[in-house]
Each structure stands twice: as structure tokens, then as C-alpha cells.
Copies of this chain bind each other. A is one copy, B any other.
Amino acid sequence: MSTDTTIADARVSSMANAIRALSMDAVQAANSGHPGMPMGMAEVATVLWGEYLKFDPSAPDWMDRDRFVLSAGHGSMLVYSLLHLSGYANPTMDEISRFRQLGSPCAGHPENFLLPGIEATTGPLGQGLAMAVGMALAERHLNANFGDDLVDHRTWVIAGDGCLMEGVNHEAIGLAGHLGLGRMTVFWDDNDITIDGPVNLSSSEDILLRYQAAKWHTVRCDGHDADSIRAAIDAAMADPRPSLIACKTVIGKGAPNKQGTSAVHGAALGADEVAAARKELGWTAEPFTVPDEILSDWRKTGERGKTAHAEWNERLENAPNRGDWEQHMMPVGDLASAAVERFITDLAKEPKTVASRKASEMVLGPLTEKLPSLVGGSADLTGSNNTKTKFTDPLTAENYGGRYVYYGIREFGMSCAMNGMALHGGVVPYGGTFLIFSDYARNAIRLAALQQTRVVFVLTHDSIGLGEDGPTHQPIEHVMSLRLIPNLNVFRPADIIETAECWALALETSDTPSVLALTRQNLPQLRGKGDENWSRLTNRSARGGYRLKSAEAERKVILMASGSEVHLATEAAKMLEADGIGADVLSMPCLDLFEQQDAAYKEELLPEVNPSEILRVSIEAGVTQGWERYTMARGLNIGIDRFGASGRAEELFERFGFTPEAVTAKIKAALAGN
């Protein structure tokens, strides 16, 4: 590609200086931000965007665009500069001048939900690169399904030393190397500087050798020399492996007194140094002004993609598989609901006592059959997470058309890759690990929520109910702590029907990721045949909580529980009723959704009466803190506020007081005011 589009050296320089000027001026105006990376990587970004990147600024959502991820997200002024200069509608120069101010889409770190053209929210180091692996994987997967005419793009990443030092880097490049994602290229800003000082303060690694060990192609370039950059990119594109380009750069290049030091990493240069840099760069324009000629050069880079986009549109128009393509890209929510509805109908006839992880596998059967965009996987716990179905063949370097990824023992890498797949589009990813290891992936789950991606985290072995593996593997605080993450739906279904309902909800929610917390142990089916409230047409889990059973005697107690403890609550209710104590049972599969219900619905379930009249009881095999929202101070919270232990599940539930007898005794004591 470079031969047609090569930009003369002098123009590369002036275009790169436009990035430098915007970056240092915006950071200076905000008196906050990171000028070092944008100034250091200005030539690399100019050559990439000017000569190679396939993009159409007028259509940021064009499916076959190249993906560009700024993994070193603190250098956000680089991408804001690129978007503005190349002709995206936003950010405007006014928005850039309000960099990092409340209300500007030019936030401290790039946020995909604020600016079209930002492919991923980055800043938490390493994750941009790891999400890019998911994008590159989604591209190959769709290419396998729809061919070169419709899917033929690349994934480019700019990463810093931090991204490479983070553990997730190892997981991400291991996955990319194994899957041979040759259309992915990482530019490493090899500037020898971290925040604390020179890189050699904390690292002695031979990074290229490590990438080679992970089956990557590696090449070096002078990050300030256009020809050297082009040669490296050409070599990367020619090699079938994913590529790392080590770009030797001077951090903060252009700031004559500070460049090459950690002083330019994360603070404004200061008025004097900005003035000195202007002189050094020969940049005479006012702040937030780009000379016409330079802007014109930049705008041309955006024109290239328009032609490519028009050609692509034409190919799609005439594609024999256009129907398949359009069907594949349709929203999946309705299909999921319909599949789940049919699945539940059958359960009404023949109830099933199964673990909710098994229930999940069972409903995944029809879901993966009917939804071709569903792509599953597990971090080496396929048989435990029950994530594979017969409709999902392995997705491998030899068969990108497969729909099941053996992610390996890489929980964080898997979660980031799934975020990238969801951001890429055309793929709806789900993946499994043990709930306890959500800890390893926690910030990726948070970024799924922040980025508003539809990713389904299948987290099994959700309590002491996993038994003998003991406290290192028994989640205690995890369900509640995940509930605390904004914009994340944490589902903990009570039986096979709720599991199916929660799967439908997870797939219907395009802007919110979901956690499915599932049991290892069997759970009886609580609804279905003989249930007076039975209706296959109503997804009762959709309101987050509902009354599973009404008090028979005068209501004195409201029991609320989630997951495996709902059945326990129904057993305790029976014992209470036998003593003339009326007890409602509320199943609460998703507190996040319950919170969103209107006051009338909440009041219906949890009437606001004096607690001496109705005792509210929460039962969950996890921490109690957080449940007080619903039980009030005089309520009773039954849970586990210490680490678990190794033993059989039944023994553990008994030891920790999760039996109908123990629960009932506690409730009676509370009713008696003890």
C-alpha cells in the first residue's frame, strides 16, 4: 500500500508536528495530561494513519475498517489529534482545547462511548493490546464466514512499556501467537522511560525475544524516520505471524530540555518548554490552530478510506452471501428470547434437577444453534464451566470459522479478548472460568461495563457449594463485589428455568455485560409444572426479583435469596408455615435489575412496614454486607463473612448454617427479638 500513498518526508514532519503542537498545547491548557507519548510517536502515527490505515472518517462504524487501538491510553491526545486532523466530525478543535475538562469528549483517557473512532476505552495498561487480540480474532472469524470481499481488515496497536510489562500482555500475545493472528501489528513505543525513571530501573527483559517465543514476528525501526517506519510496517504485513514493531523513539520529542526523560511522561511541559518546543519544531501557529496546508495534507489521509469504503459498499451490494451477512449482523436479543422460550416450554413438561452450570450448557444448545454470532470459550475449564456445545467447533488457526475458543489458562486475557470481540462487532462472546478467578479478570469485567459491551462472563463454582477445593477456590465476597460494579448485571439463577431466563436477559442487553454465577452442585427446578404462576411467556427474572411463593399463614417473614439458596429459602418457608408463621419467598436472581424497578413493584414485594411486623431475611452463601439494602437494620442477613473450608459441599453448607433447620431457628430467634 505504501508505494501509492507515500508522503514526502517534509510533509510527514509537518504533519507529525501538528500532533505534537496539539498535544502539548492541550495538555498545557488543561495543566494535566501526558504529552510524552504523542510527541514521541508522532511520526509513527502519521505514517500509519497517512499511508496504511484503512478508515473512513465519515463512517466510523464501517464494518471493514481497520481497527486502531491506543493501548497506551494515557497518550490520548495522540488519538484525539488523529481523529480531528484526519477529518472525523469529532473532536472539534474546541473540544480539543477543552481536553480533560468536564463535558469534553476528549477525556483524560480515550473512551469509546464518548467519541466515534475510539475503538476501545484504554488507560488500564495492557488491556488495549489484549482487546485488540479479540478484534483481530473477530476479523479472522468473520473473514472465514464471509470471505475477503466483505471482511479484510487489520488491527493496529500502539503500546508502551507499561502495556508490555503487565501480566495480561503475556496472556494476550500467547493467545495471538497461538492463533496466528497475522493481521495484528503492535507498535511498541520503545522510549526507555517509565514513570519512575529509565526502564532499566525495573526491567531487564529482551522483549523481542519474548515475543518471538510467543510466535510473533518482530522488527525494529527508528520511530522518527518515515522510511524506517514504512519498512517495518511492510515487513510486518508480509509476515504471516502477528508482528511487534519496536519503535525506538525519544519520549516528548520536540521539547528540547525535557525530551527523553520521565518528566515529559505525565505532566504539562510548562509555558517555557512549550515555547522552546515551538522554536525547536519551527511551529509558528497559534495554539489550537493548524496551518491550512498541513491540515489539507491530513484531510487527504481521510479521503483514501472513502474510496475503499465505497468499493466495499458495492461489493456488499452484489455479494451472493449478502443475506447471510445481514442476518448475522442482526440484533440477537429476539432470537435469544425465542430460543429460551421454547427451551422453557419443554421444561414445564419434564422438570430437571441439574446444576445451574449444566442448565447453562443445556440452554446454550439451542442458543448456539440459533445464534450464529455467539462465540464461546473457556479459560481451560471447558468441562467444568459447561461452555461448549455441539454447535460450536473449535476456533483455531486452521479453522477460524469455528466458534469455540480454547483460551488457555488466561482469565484476564480471555476477558479482554471478549471485550475486543464485542467492540469489533459481528460476534457475541461468552466465556467461562471459576467465579473465584473473576478476581484475575476483574478490571476487564469493569472495562466491559464501562465500555458498554455485551459480553457474557460464565462464572461457575459460585460458592462453598463447590466443596473440597477449599477456601482458595470458594467465592465469598465475589457475587456481591461484582454487583458493586456499575452497569454490570450479575445474575445468580436459582434453577434451570431462571438460568435460561438469565441467558435471555444477558443476550438481550446490548449495552451491558453480564455475569452468570452458576453452581457446581445440583439444584431442583423450582418453577414449571404445578406452579400456579407458571407462564412460559413471562421472563420472571427480568425484574431482578419476584415473589416465588406467597405466605400461607399470616405473613410474618419475607425470605429473599439468590441462586442455590432460593431452594433453601423455600424449605425454610415450609418449616415456618408448619409453625403458623407465614413466609413469602422472593427469588432475587439479579439485584442490579431489581434496583431498576419502580417503587410500586419494590413496595409490592417488600412492603414498608414496621420490621417488628414483618421480618426480612436475606439468604446467600456469601458476604451479608450489601443485603442490608433490602433487609433494613432489624432484618436478618444470613450469609458467610469468613473464608470457606475444604470439605464436601453438604458438610460445608451445614457447617456454615445453610440448612432449613438452622435458618428457621435463626428466624424464630429474630422474631422473638433475640
Contact = CB atoms under 8 A, between A and B. Distances in A.
B484 A625 contact: yes
Nearest to A394: B201
A14 interface: no
Interface stretch (A41-49, A338-346, A432-440): A432-440
Contacts of A487: 642-643
A3 interface: no
Interface string A26-55: 000010110000000000000000000000
B209 A215 contact: no
A480 interface: yes
Work out how many copies of this chain go into the complex: 2
A483 to B, nearest CB: 7
A518 interface: no
Contact of A166 (B108, B171, B647, B655): B171
Nearest to A434: B124
A226 interface: no
Given A171-B166, A406-B201, A486-B477, A123 B472 contact: yes
Interface stretch (A247-255, A361-369, A407-415): A407-415
A72 to B, nearest CB: 11
A511 interface: no
B410 A165 contact: yes
A469 B34 CA distance: 10
B477 A484 contact: yes
Nearest to A412: B167
Interface stretch (A313-321, A376-384, A421-429, A541-549): A376-384
23 contacts: A32-B467, A100-B470, A108-B470, A111-B646, A122-B472, A123-B472, A124-B439, A124-B472, A165-B380, A166-B440, A178-B202, A194-B408, A195-B384, A196-B378, A196-B382, A201-B408, A213-B213, A476-B484, A480-B481, A481-B481, A625-B626, A625-B629, A633-B633
A402 to B, nearest CB: 12
A164 to B, nearest CB: 8
A103 interface: yes
Contacts of A201: 394, 406, 408
A111 to B, nearest CB: 7
A411 B167 CA distance: 9
A121 interface: yes
B380 A121 contact: no
Contacts of A410: 165-167, 202
Interface in A475-504: 476-477, 480-481, 483-487
Contact of A107 (B101, B381, B408, B645): B645
A440 to B, nearest CB: 6
A674 interface: no
Interface size class of chain A, counting residues whose CB lies under 8 Å from the partner chain? 35 or more
Given A32-B467, A645-B107, A213 B206 contact: yes
A101 B33 contact: no
B486 A476 contact: yes
A603 to B, nearest CB: 12
Contact of A205 (B124, B169, B174, B647): B174
Given A213-B210, A408-B202, A655 B102 contact: yes
Contacts of A468: 30, 32-33, 100, 108
A437 B123 CA distance: 11
The 3 A-B residue pairs with the shortest CB-CB distance in the complex, in nearest-first order: A167-B167, A102-B647, A202-B408
Given A202-B407, A647-B103, A480 B484 contact: yes
Nearest to A446: B439
A538 interface: no
Nearest to A466: B108
Given A107-B470, A108-B468, A196-B382, A177 B161 contact: no
A162 B8 CA distance: 50
B196 A177 contact: no
A87 B545 CA distance: 55
Contacts of A174: 165, 203-205
A623 B380 contact: no
A285 interface: no
A278 interface: no
Nearest to A473: B123
Given A109-B469, A122-B472, A124-B473, 14 more contacts: A102-B647, A121-B472, A123-B473, A165-B171, A165-B380, A166-B411, A166-B440, A195-B384, A210-B214, A476-B486, A487-B643, A608-B633, A625-B629, A633-B633
A477 B481 contact: yes
A402 B212 CA distance: 34
Contacts of A108: 468-470, 472-473, 646
A652 interface: yes
Interface in A35-88: 73
Interface string A172-202: 0011011000000000000000111100011
A162 B213 contact: no
Contact of A648 (B101, B167, B651): B101
A626 B628 CA distance: 7
A328 interface: no
